[in-house]
Each structure stands twice: as structure tokens, then as C-alpha cells.
Structure 1
Amino acid sequence: MQTSAKKKMGRPLTPRLSRKAIGRAALAMFEAGEDLSLPKLAERLEVTQSSFYKHVSGRQEIIELARGALVERARVPEQFPDTLDGVIRQTFEALISAYRLVPALLPLLLTQPVTHPAALGLYDHFVAAFEKAGVPAHLIIPAIEALDSAAIGASLDAFAMEAAWSIDEGRQESYPHLSMALDAVAASKTDRFTFLADVLAAGLKAAIDDTA
């Protein structure tokens, strides 16, 4: 006599929804240039919108989870150079490597403080590098804030437009100096992000040396 055993429906071995999954899905939406929409986010994750509230309190927390997912994508060295120039450049490069991925997220990150553990850990890593490079404690946060602001601004500029100035053909004579400078930069192979990193490194190093 054959017996048939009924399979019991239990919980999946891997939960479909988690805080990390929500953050990564939200980040993917921003990377695709989409606005953060809870219905669309639920659809992306194949869950009901109400199920979010078992894991997050609301929109702000989802944005912070997206920040944490962005930290996972940042190219951060495990060990920084001992020189201040090297620390400044590599910190800026780490920030810009992340921010350039999702400029659509950046205005939202500016509206709330950093609270995600992974993001706080990243900034703690930066602070340790500045400490090791000999930067006075009271100047470390201003230095990192300057680098952060520059990286965000550069990423937003790159997202918003190809060039900040546009002169109609035939009107260059009305703006001879600006036209000449625009022609020169168009002919140059200078990487603007590298240039900005160099300027930041020189300026911050000079400011730190003057007040140390």
C-alpha cells in the first residue's frame, strides 16, 4: 500500500525581504535614474508594499539603506598611504567612485545625516587615515567635509549637463576670454576629476600646514 506524504509549506530558507535587499533594490532604482517610489520598489522586490514596514520605518530609512548599499560599491583602499597628499587623493577618489554611480541619489543624501553602520564605518576609516597622516584632530572633519562636498558637486555637475557654459556659434567674439578658455579645455586631454583631486590635495594640505 502506497502512502503519499503531503509537503508542508514553510517559510523560505532565504527570506525574500531584508534591510540589505531593500537598500540594494533602492540603489538599483537610483542607478537606473528612477525616482524612489515605494510601489515600484515593492514591484522590483516582488513583495507587497505593506511588507516594507516590517523592516523599515519609512522613506528616509530606505534612503539610508541605499546609502549603505552604495558604500558596498565604493572602491576604498584597505590601507591608505602615510602621506597627506595620498590620503586626500585616495579619499576623494573613493567618494567620487561611489557618487558617480548614482547622482540621482545624492540630493536625497544631503537632506539627512549619515546613520547607516557601513557608511559610518567608511568615514571612520577615512578619519583614521587622516589621523595617521598627522592631521590635527580639529581639522579632520572639515577636510573630509570639503572632499565630500566636492565629490558630490562634481558628480551632480556631470549628471546635469555636459558643460556649464554654452555660447551660440557666431557669438564667440562677444565673450572672447570665455570662448578661448572653452576651446582650450575642449582640446585638452586633462581629466577634470584628477585635476580637482590635485587642487583639493594642494589646498587642504596648505590649509592644514598653516594651522598645524
Structure 2
Amino acid sequence: MPRPSEPILSPDKIAQAALELIDSIGEFTIGAVARRLSVRPSSLYNHVGGREEIISLVRDSLIPETIPPFRELPWEQGLSDGIRLYRAILSDHPAVVPLLATVPLASAASARMYEEFAATMHNAGFPDEQILDAITAIDNFALGSALDMAAPPTLWTSPHWQARMRAVTEAAPRGRERADQSFEFGLRVLIDGLRARLPQQ
């Protein structure tokens, strides 16, 4: 029997199957991925080391192969563009976000993206001992903002609101418009806060 022209299994196919499960039910297991690919669970281990590696592969599959050179822009614009890109990458797959927090940032694609953040801040004059703290804050903000995009339109609706929160929620937009407006507000606050900590040149 001739061999199939394309392998039945590969790390990319395993990652895609896992992502499809995450998108549909919010989670995946080795067994479920194997069933989706019509193979035995043991067959997956010829290509991946386990669940943690699959999550890393899923992360890699979402990040573009080419990351724009944000470090070449003025640092405020570079960071803002990078954070917007990161949020956009995750926004179509919000169920992935909680899983990403459970594995080390060991993938090559992640390394490229975080290198751009680090280089942008280094070029701006931030000391190395502050940059990881800043990147962690950026990461938390981008991940949370991606989750917010998947929130129901009624997220900020409650029969228990008292006078001030009723006024606040009635004045705010709804749905995606609210999520986008809140993201841009938070992004400005984040950039302003970083600017205030930038050592004087």
C-alpha cells in the first residue's frame, strides 16, 4: 500500500485539532484530540511530549510568523501597536487564554513577540530590571482584554446595581463597542503609567 502523500499526524495537525476543541468546548484532552484525528492517544506521543507541549503549539499557531518590528517605532506607538496585535491574535480564540497561563513561554513564536516588547522598552531607556515587570503587566492586560471581547452584552447588567453603578452602566456603550472603548482607555493608562516610570534621559 502506498504511503499517504501527507502525514496523518504532525505537531501542526495536533495543535489545530486541540484548538478546534478549545474553541468548541473550552478545553481539550489527549484522548479527545486523538479521537478527532482518528488515531490512538499513544500515537500523539510520537509527535508531542504531552499536554503542555500541545498548548505551546497552539500558542505558536496563533502568532504570525513575522512580527512587525515594533522596536523601530517610537516606544509608545510600538508598545501600543504590539498590544493591539496581541489582543487581536487572541480575540478569535478567547477560550485559549486561561490555558496559556498554565505553561511556560517556551515557544519560538512567543519568544519573537516578547523580544519585540523587550527591545522596544530597552531602546526607550527602561532599565532591564523593570522590563519583565512591564511585560508581565502588558501580558495580563492583553489576556484580560481578549477575554472581555468574548463577554456577553449583558456583562455589566445587574438588578442589584445601586444609583451610581446604574448611572455608570447606562452611560457606557454595549457589547463590542464597550470592550473596544475599555481596551483603548486601559491601554492609554498603561502607556501613561510606563511613561511616568521612564528614567529621565
Normalised-by-shorter TM-score class: 0.7 to 0.9
- Per-residue CA deviation, residues 119-156 of structure 1 (Å, 9 max, x unaligned), is 12221232222222332222221111111001112222
Which amino acid is the alignment partner of residue 164 of structure 2? H
Identity of matched residues, %: 31
1:193 is matched with 183
Shift of 1:55: 1.0
Unaligned 5+ residue runs, structure 1? 1-8
Residue pairs, 1:52-71, within 5 angstroms = 52-71=44-63
Superimposed CA distance per residue, residues 61-88 of structure 1 (whole angstroms, 9 cap, x where no aligned partner):
1111111112238x94244453221122
One-letter amino acid of the counterpart of residue 152, structure 1:
L
8 Å contact 1:76–1:94 — kept in the other structure?
Answer: no
* TM-score (structure 2 length as normaliser): 0.84
Instruction: Give the letter for the 1:23 counterpart.
Output: A
Cα 1:79–1:152 shift into 2, 3 Å: closer
Q: Name the amino acid aligned to 2:18.
A: A
Equivalence map 1:109-120=2 (5 Å): 109-120=100-111
Identify the match of residue 39 of structure 1 among 31, 54, 73: 31
Tell me the TM-score normalised to structure 1 length. Answer: 0.80
Give the aligned partner of residue 206 of structure 1.
196
The 8 Å contact of residues 103 and 156 in structure 1, kept in 2 or not, is answered as yes
Write the distance in 2 (CA, Å) between the matches of 1:23 and 1:208: 40
Equivalent position amino acid for 2:194 in 1: L
Separation in 2, partners of 1:155, 1:61: 22
Partner of 1:29: 21
Q: Number of residues paired by the alignment? A: 198
Matched, 1:123 2:114: yes
Change (3 A) 1:46 1:78: farther
Check 1:17–1:72 CA distance in 2 against 1; reply closer, same or farther (3 A cut).
farther
1:137–1:185: structure 2 CA closer, same or farther, 3 Å change rule?
Answer: same
> What does residue 145 of structure 2 align with?
154
Deviation string 1:23-68 (CA, Å, 9 cap, x unpaired) is 2222232233442032332233333322101011221211111111
Look up the match of 1:5. none
How far 1:162 sits from its partner (Å)? 3.4
* Equivalent residue for 2:98, pick from 100, 107, 111: 107
Root-mean-square deviation over aligned CA pairs? 2.6
Work out the CA distance in 2 between the residues paired with 1:108 and 1:80: 28
- Counterpart contact for 1:27–1:70, Cα < 8 Å: no
